[in-house]
Amino acid sequence: MKEKKRLLQMLYYLSRSERPLRSADMAKLCGISVRTVKGDVQELSDLAAASGAELFSKKGTGFWLEVTDEEAFRVVKEQLGYQFSSYTYTSEYENKVNVFTRRLLVSEHYVTARTLADELWLARSTIKPFIREVRKLAEKFRLKLVSKPSYGLKLEGLEVSKRFCMLELYLNHDTRSSSMIHNREFRDFLDMDDETARKVRKTVLDVLRKSGFSIRDQMTHRLIRYIPLACSRSRRGYHASIPDSVRELLAGLPLYAVAENLLAETKAIFPDMPQDEDEVLTVEYLLTVFLDPIVYEGFHQDFRVLLERIIPIVETGVSGMIRTWDLPDHFRQIYEKSMPAAFLPVYAQLLFPEIGYSFVGKEVENNETSSSPFCIALANTFLKTISEAYGCRVSRFAALFLGMSVFLPIQKTEYPLRKLSVLVGNRMGINGAEALKHTLTTAFGKDTFEKLDFIELYEGRAVDLSQYDCMIANYDEMYFHYDIPYIKVSALPDSEELYRIHEEVIMLKFMVREALQELDLHVVTPEAPPFKSQKAFAHAAAAIFVPDARRAEETAEKILQIRSISIWNKTLFLIIPAEEGDDNLIGAWEYDRGYLWKNRVFSRVVFLRVSAKGSASVLKAIEEIARSVYAADNIRTLTNDSGEEGLLKLIRRGY
C-alpha cells in the first residue's frame, strides 16, 4: 500500500513539473532516499504506461513524461491532483519526523537507528537529518533525545511533557502522507469512538461554561483529546509528575478548581480517570495555556498574582512596538491595559519552562475577522522586544495568539467622519424628489447627511453647487452640466443603485482619502524576482525597494529575522517598519507557480514598509490595506490601478 502511494506521488510530481526531475529532486519531494527512487523506476514506468504516458530519463538531466493518451492521462492527472494538490515534500518530510518521534515516545527502551530506518523505509545513510529534526522537536517540549552507542535512541523527560508532545503529534498529521500513523500503540493512547468523543466534548464544554472561563476554539479539541490520553497513560503506569516550583504557582490560580471539576466530571466516562493533585495541576496548566482571557471579564481580579509579574514585561513590549512602528501614543495606554490578558498563555510557557507546551501544527492565519498580517508584524515586534530584554525564547505561535489583541483596538478605531451635503433631483417634480430623498434617508440614515436638499428639473441653474458633495437625480446629466460628482438613478433606486450610491457617495463620509494622503504610501509594481532560496530572495526583494546597497542588506536581514511570517491565501507578506527618512511603500507581484518559505507554500508576495506616523487614521489605513490585499484580485487591483485610487478601492472593499 505504501509502495503504491509512493509511486502515485512520483507520478503526480512528474505530471506537474515543467522540467525534468532528477533522482535527488524526486527523493526530496517524496521524502525518500535516492536509492529508493532508482529502485522504483521500472514500476513507475509501468504505472505511467497504464496512465497514458511514457517515462523517459537521461543521465544528468532527469526523468520526464510524454503523454501518449491525452484522455486517459487527463483523468489520471485530475485524480492525482485531487489527492496530492496542496501536499508538498515538506508535508511528507515533517510527517516522517513525527512518525519517528511517535515511535520513540511509546517505547520504554532504546530503539536502534536501523530499526527506525527500516520502519520508515529509509536508507541508514539518510536517517541522520531526521534525527536532528526529532531532537529539535523534542526540545520544544523540554524533552531530550538521548543517543547511546550500541543501544540506539530514546526520549527522556517529564511524563507531562511526553503527553503534550503526543497530543500535538496526534492532532497534526497529514493523512495523505505515505508515512501515515501506523503505530497502533501510539493511537491507542488517544483514540476514542465517536460516542465517547461526543460525551467528552459535552462534558468539557459544560464545565467551562459553568466556570465562566473560555478557551480558544482551536484548543478545545486538544483538551478533549487529552482526557483519554491522561487516562490511558496512567492506566499503563505513566503518572503525571509536576515539579515543586510549578506546583506552588499553579495551585494559587483560579483554574485549579476548574481542572479539578473537569477530572471529576469525566470520571463518569472513564472510571479509572486519575484524580490526584499532579493530574489536576497538569490539566490546570493546559487550561492556562489554552485560555482565551480576552472574553473573560474577571481576569484582572482572578489573576492579579500573575499580573504583578506580567505587567512590567508587557510595558516593555508595548514600548518597543510603539517606538518601532511610530504608533499613536494613546495606544500605549490601550495596549498596556489589554495585552496582559492576551500575554498570559505566552507567559505561562515562560513561567513554567520545565513543562512547556509547544504548538507544532498548522496554524490558521487567514481569518481576517480576528487579525491581519500587519497586526502579526506588530506582535512580532512586541515579542522580539521582550525576548531581547528578558533573554527568553518565545514560540512563533505566540505572535499569532497576540495578533488578535493588537488587532482589536485598531479595528475599533474610526476614521474621522464628516457629514455629506447631497443635492437630489427628480424630473417628476417636488413629490418625486421627496420620495427619492426619503429612500436615501431610510437606506443610509438621516445622520449621514448634513444637507439633503431636493430640486425640480429646471431649478439646477439657480443653485450654488459648490456647497454640495454630489448630486443624485433620475435624469441624464446632459440636461445641464454639473461641476460636482453626478449619479443617475431610477425614481426609486433598486438595490444595485443603492450599492453604487453607497460606494461613490456614502463612503465619502469616512475621511479615508485624507488618511491615505497622510500615509503617503508609494505603490511599486516591480518584476517578480527569481526565487532560488529564502536568503537570495530576501536580498533580491530588498534591492528592489531600497536602492542603497548597505540599507538593502539591512532590510534583507530584517526580512530573514521575521519569526512568524504571514502567509495568507498563498500570499507571502514581508512587513517591516520604516525608519527615519524612509518612504512608506508597498509592492506586490505574482508567480506562475508555488514556492516554499519556511515550509509553507506561496505564489504571491506583498512587501510593505510603513510607519504609522503617530496617527490613528494612518494606522487604521495600514491595517485595512494589509488585511485586504492578500486576495489575488486585490493584488491585481493594486498593481493595475496603483496610487491613491487603488488603495482607496482596497479599503472600501472592507466595508
CA distance 471 to 440: 12
Least confident of 82-86, 251-255, 456-460: 82-86
CA distance 584 to 577: 9
Write down the pLDDT at residue 465.
78
Q: Are 96 and 130 in contact (CB under 8 A)?
A: yes
Least confident of 67-71, 81-85, 492-496, 540-544: 81-85
* Cα 315 to Cα 158, 334, 338, distances in angstroms: 33, 11, 11
Q: What is the pTM of this model?
A: 0.71
* Cα 65 to Cα 198, 298, 377, distances in angstroms: 49, 64, 43
CA distance 349 to 628: 33
Decide: helix, strand or coil at residue 151: coil
Show the cell assigned to 21: 526531475
pLDDT at 89 over 50: no
Integer-rounded Cα Rg, in Å, for the chain is 30
Q: State mean pLDDT over 611-619.
A: 93
Write down the pLDDT at residue 13.
85
CB within 8 Å of 523: residues ≥ 6 apart: 585, 586, 587, 638, 639, 642, 643, 646, 647
CB within 8 Å of 350: residues ≥ 6 apart: 392, 394
Report phi then psi at 239, rounded to 5.
-100, 145
Residue 84 pLDDT grade (very low, low, confident, very high; cuts 50, 70, 90): low
CA distance 104 to 148: 14
pLDDT digits (tens, 9 = 90+) for 406-450: 988 998 888 888 788 888 887 777 788 788 888 888 888 888 888
Write down the pLDDT at residue 93.
59
Among candidate residues 596, 620, 643, 445, the one with its CA nearest the CA of residue 28:
596
Amino acid identity, position 529:
P
pLDDT at 478 over 60: no
Q: Which residues pair with 609 in a beta bridge?
A: 576, 585
pLDDT at 535 over 90: no
Q: Which one has a higher pLDDT value, 598 or 555?
A: 555
CA distance 21 to 14: 7
CA distance 202 to 480: 69
Write down the pLDDT at residue 306.
79
Among candidate residues 155, 174, 188, 21, the one with its CA nearest the CA of residue 96:
174
pLDDT digits (tens, 9 = 90+) for 156-194: 999 999 999 888 888 765 444 444 444 677 778 888 888
Write down the pLDDT at residue 297.
67
Write down the pLDDT at residue 154.
93
Task: Please give the span between the terminal C-alpha atoms of the chain, in angstroms, as a whole number.
Answer: 51
Percent of the chain with pLDDT over 70: 87
Write down the pLDDT at residue 481.
63
pLDDT digits (tens, 9 = 90+) for 192-247: 888 999 999 999 999 999 988 888 777 888 899 999 999 999 998 999 988 887 88
Residue 80 pLDDT grade (very low, low, confident, very high; cuts 50, 70, 90): confident
Helix (H), strand (E) counts: the chain: 28, 13
Among candidate residues 221, 211, 207, the one with its CA nearest the CA of residue 268:
207
CB within 8 Å of 55: residues ≥ 6 apart: 14, 41, 44, 45, 48, 49, 63, 64, 65
pLDDT at 279 over 90: yes
Percent of the chain with pLDDT over 90: 20
Among candidate residues 615, 653, 584, the one with its CA nearest the CA of residue 416:
615
CA distance 415 to 82: 45
Q: Are 634 and 628 in contact (CB under 8 A)?
A: yes
Q: Are 471 and 450 in contact (CB under 8 A)?
A: no
pLDDT digits (tens, 9 = 90+) for 306-356: 788 888 999 999 999 999 999 999 999 999 888 888 887 778 777 777 777
Mean pLDDT of the chain: 82
* Cα 373 to Cα 96, 270, 369, 377, 433, distances in angstroms: 30, 43, 12, 6, 46
User: Of all helices (H) and strands (E), which one includes residue 502?
Assistant: helix 495-504
DSSP output for 558-616: HHHT-SS-EEETTEEEEEEE--TTPPEEEEEEEEEEEEEETTEEEEEEEEEEE--TT-H
Residue 1 pLDDT grade (very low, low, confident, very high; cuts 50, 70, 90): very low
Show the cell assigned to 132: 536532528
